[in-house]
Chain A
Amino acid sequence: MYREEYARVSGGVLLSRQAELRELPAPAVFGSKMRTALLMLVAVLEETYPAELARYLGSSISSVQRTLDKIEEERLVATRQGVVRSVTLNPLYPAVNELRSLLLRLAEGYPDYQRIKESRRLRPRRRGKPS
């Protein structure tokens, strides 16, 4: 379910910066919908960080951090602490290629993930420019 702002989509591109989701759909393949959605997001976004995951999952950062701690312990994801905690699938997990393929395949079933990827702003933005 989207917030009102997220519904204002044109050609798959978000028009609003208030683009959080209340609940991102996912099957409970990895124990719970939350864990699976988080893993699918990490696979789709390739590299992300807790605040971004929390925004898309419609969850609190602390809840995302707790889930990340658990799946990092299982070695499915790797996090690196810099200015922010960057999150990727763990390239040293022995089944990382298969895991990535499965997650991306699962994500194909839910257009929201592709929309999120396409709406993500990666290019630089001049400071002070109105959003």
Chain B
Amino acid sequence: MIDAKSTLEDVCFDVSTALGSNGINGVLTGGSAAAVYAPQAYMSNDADFVLDPDEPLQQIAVALEPTGFVRHGRSRIFVHPDTIYTIDFPRGPLAVGRDYIRDTHVLKRGQRQLRILTRFDCVRDRLSHFYYWKDFTALNAAVAVAAENPREVDLDRLRSWTEREGAALLEGFDVFKRRLQLALESKKAL
């Protein structure tokens, strides 16, 4: 049950489980996915579930009814009377930069589950926002997720993807790499 003490992760698990049990494929993306993978380093108050394929919002409203989330007006955002967290349903298809995403990850907690971008795709997703919008909050999130999960974030693959997106973006990748090195060094020092 969602209440004022629920964390973003608690809320996301409940929402994802409710969607899944109604046959709806919603994948947690954006800053909220980064907040799940690196909760100490990054915070978010809204969860973005990309619907892939897109589903009518009336159907989402029915699926989320047991969680207490209700649609906010005619928007794609759902709110809850007992939590500050909001749920947004951006339209699919699920993509990171120019790549369509087919493989996602499922986190489990007892009977509940959370469908979410893989850690690698989560870093790419945040980086793409940094590359195209110069969003340094997104850069910090990418660094935080990569520093928390260094084995799952292959820097060579990340660099190749960045180059495919556009050679001009490699400068941004170098900034990311330097910040990640600093983050990993300070983690070691602790």
Contact = CB atoms under 8 A, between A and B. Distances in A.
Interface residues of A, number: 11
Contact of B97 (A75, A80, A92): A92
Interface string A55-77: 00000000000000000011100
Contacts of B132: 91-92
A3 B76 CA distance: 40
A128 interface: no
A94 B97 CA distance: 6
B66 interface: no
B61 interface: no
B84 to A, nearest CB: 23
Interface residues of B, number: 13
A73 B128 contact: no
B79 interface: no
A107 B68 CA distance: 48
A93 B128 CA distance: 11
Contacts of A74: 91
B91 A96 contact: no
Given A74-B91, A75-B90, A75-B91, A94 B99 contact: yes
A129 B166 CA distance: 42
B98 A96 contact: yes
Nearest to B90: A75
A4 to B, nearest CB: 41
A100 B63 CA distance: 37
Contacts of B98: 94-97
Interface in A91-131: 91-97
A93 B100 CA distance: 10
B91 A73 contact: yes
Nearest to A93: B95
A94 B93 contact: yes
A92 B100 contact: no
Contacts of B100: 94
> A-B pairs with the 8 shortest C-beta distances?
A94-B95, A91-B132, A94-B98, A92-B128, A94-B100, A92-B132, A74-B91, A75-B91
Interface of B: 76, 90-91, 93, 95, 97-100, 128-129, 132-133
Given A73-B91, A75-B90, A92-B128, 9 more contacts: A75-B91, A80-B133, A92-B95, A92-B129, A93-B95, A94-B95, A94-B97, A94-B99, A95-B98
14 contacts: A73-B76, A73-B91, A74-B91, A75-B90, A75-B91, A92-B128, A92-B129, A92-B132, A93-B95, A94-B93, A94-B95, A94-B97, A95-B98, A97-B98
